[in-house]
Amino acid sequence: MADTQPHITAHDLTMAYGDFLIQKDLNFAINRGDIFIIMGGSGCGKSTLLKIMIGLKSPATGDVCYDGEAFWSSSAADREATKRKFGTLFQSGALWSSMTLAENIGLALQQYTDLGAAEIREVAAYKLMLVGLAGFEDYYPNEISGGMKKRAGLARAMALDPEILFFDEPSAGLDPISAKLLDDLILELCESLGTTVVIVTHELASIFAIGNNSVFLDPVTKTQLATGNPNKMRDHHPNFEVRNFLRRGEAEDEAA
């Protein structure tokens, strides 16, 4: 396998809503097996970048490449095929409320595999076991707590054994212990499965605990200020904004 080639790359990506520019000139590379963090202050376009990467919103200019193949400039059919390698956990879980957890997980399997109903249920049960929800197959999303919804959403995102997992603020709305457990879970799963992970978050604890690559988006200059390992960026990055963000606004201004 061409492991030296980055798994995901962004080339001169510009995002905008109509005339309103969100971010411009984004360039970064994500290697296979990386846990990549998209960070930045509120309103800097983190979630928009994620939407572009998973194919929900098209970029104004530039493109995202998966395994070296352009995503947005390819045909709709190719894009659909690429999307099958993705699993996404939305901010509040976004579980389908009219379906049980097992059905939520089973829908993707039903759509994309030839498995029978019993086998689909078996796989769903296993995915729920992985996220610590054994026995909750027949619960509806509104019958479980917020943290459980997040984990059920994670199980659903992993239904098709995706190559890339996208998370939108996985620890938002969770208590610190649940958030830590979710982080550990993500880390464990990715180590075992070798999945590439892209996470949108501004939880510093998560960023340092699990991230090994990142991009920092700045809402003022509307472009990326830094990309790389967040731990190194905190200590050594020349840009004050970046250090300040990663130290909760307590960086000393040692600007050169």
Partner 1 sequence: MNPAALSVAEVDQGVLLVSLSGDWLLGSNLPAPDPVLDSLRQLPGLTSLSFDSQSLGDWDTGLVKVLIAVHRSAAANGVAIDDTGLTNGVRKLITLAFAVEEREGARRVVKDKTFLEQVGENTLARVAQGRELLAFTGELVLSCKRFLTGKATYLRSDVVQYMQEAGAEAFAIVSLISFLIGMIFAFVGVMQLELFGAGIFTADLVAIAMIREMAAIMTGIIMAGRTGAAYAAQIGTMKVNEEIDALTTLGINPIDFLVTPRIIALIVMMPLLTMYASLMGIIGGTFVGLAMLDVSLLQYVSQTIEAVHLNSLFGGLFKSIVYGSLVALAGCQNGMACGNSALAVGECTTKAVVSGIVLIVVSAAILTVIYINLGI
CB of 98 to partner 1, least distance (A): 4
Quickly tell me which residue has 């019958």 as its tokens: 143
Rank residues 139 and 208 by Cβ distance to partner 1 and give the closer one.
Answer: 139
Strand partners, 167: 89, 199
* DSSP characters over 64-108: EEETTEESTTS-HHHHHHHHTTEEEEBTTB---TTS-HHHHHHHH
Rank residues 17 and 126 by Cβ distance to partner 1 and give the closer one.
Answer: 126
CB of 175 to partner 1, least distance (A): 17
CA atoms within 13 A on the CB side of 50: 26
Rank residues 12 and 122 by Cβ distance to partner 1 and give the closer one.
Answer: 122
CB of 34 to partner 1, least distance (A): 17
Rank residues 115 and 204 by Cβ distance to partner 1 and give the closer one.
Answer: 115
CA-based nearest residue to 40, from 204, 250, 232: 204
Do the Cβ atoms of 217 and 224 come closer than 8 Å?
yes
Quickly tell me which residue has 């095929």 as its tokens: 81
Q: What are phi and psi of 212, to 5 degrees?
A: -125, 5
Q: Which helix (H) or strand (E) holds 189?
A: helix 176-193
- Report residue 110 as tokens: 């039903």
CB of 87 to partner 1, least distance (A): 12
CB of 97 to partner 1, least distance (A): 3
Distance CA 75, CA 70 (A): 10
- Footprint on this chain of partner 1 (rule: CB under 8 A): 96-98, 113-115, 122-123, 126-127, 129-130, 132-142, 161, 185, 188-189, 191-194
CB of 56 to partner 1, least distance (A): 19
Rank residues 56 and 134 by Cβ distance to partner 1 and give the closer one.
Answer: 134
Rank residues 58 and 111 by Cβ distance to partner 1 and give the closer one.
Answer: 111
Q: For residue 60, which amino acid is it?
A: A
